[in-house]
Amino acid sequence: MTRLAHRAARRRLGAWLLAAAGCALLGAAPCAAEAQAGAASLERSVKAAFLYKFLGYAEFPASAFADANAPVVIGVVGADEMAAELSRIVAGRSVDNRAVLVKTLREGEAPAGVHLLFVAGADSARVARVLKAAQPSPILLVTESENGLQLGSVINFKIVDERVRFDVSLDAADKNNIKLSSRLLTVANHVQKGAP
């Protein structure tokens, strides 16, 4: 995440905390729902920024693209709001001189032409089904499930000390023919080097 995006996220968090404190003083129950919505929105924005940034630290095989002008495609399953946030972030941007597109997928829909697949939610059974359908392919699989790496994800988001962090499975990256930059690994919360 860029320094400017990080500052904007901190400002939104500060505004959310101020609103939450005001609600607590007023004892207003509707404010609790609003505060939760603000936290969820901030978490979604941070994760969306990470997803875009992951593309810059992943190397896909040439066979993953139809031709030299083919775009990099981010697929999103189970999170329409995340897809909308990602579309806003990637608008007019590129990765390795390729345009970046966001595609919303439904469970059971083949992720053909997708380079990064984000599977939202904590339902392990659903996440496992989607990941199984996507493998083996040169796809950077990203989840937010408690056991995402064990299910075959390359990167799994987690919340550590109220911050969005991520774990990485090098074994899953190898199976999917994705090379990850050492720069990405140095900022990961945990790097798993063998099979889980």
Dist CA 51 CA 76 (whole Å): 10
Select 49-192's CATH number: 3.30.70, 3.40.50, 3.30.390, 1.10.10. Answer: 3.40.50
Reading the chain (196 residues) residue by residue, the pLDDT tens digits are 555 554 554 444 444 444 444 444 344 444 444 445 566 788 999 999 999 999 999 999 999 999 999 999 999 999 999 999 999 999 999 999 999 999 999 988 889 899 999 999 999 999 999 998 887 789 999 999 999 999 999 999 999 998 999 999 999 999 999 999 999 999 999 999 876 5
Model pLDDT, residue 196: 57
Burial class, 196, CB count within 10 angstroms (exposed 0-12 / middle 13-18 / buried 19+): exposed
Burial class, 126, CB count within 10 angstroms (exposed 0-12 / middle 13-18 / buried 19+): middle
pTM comes to 0.79
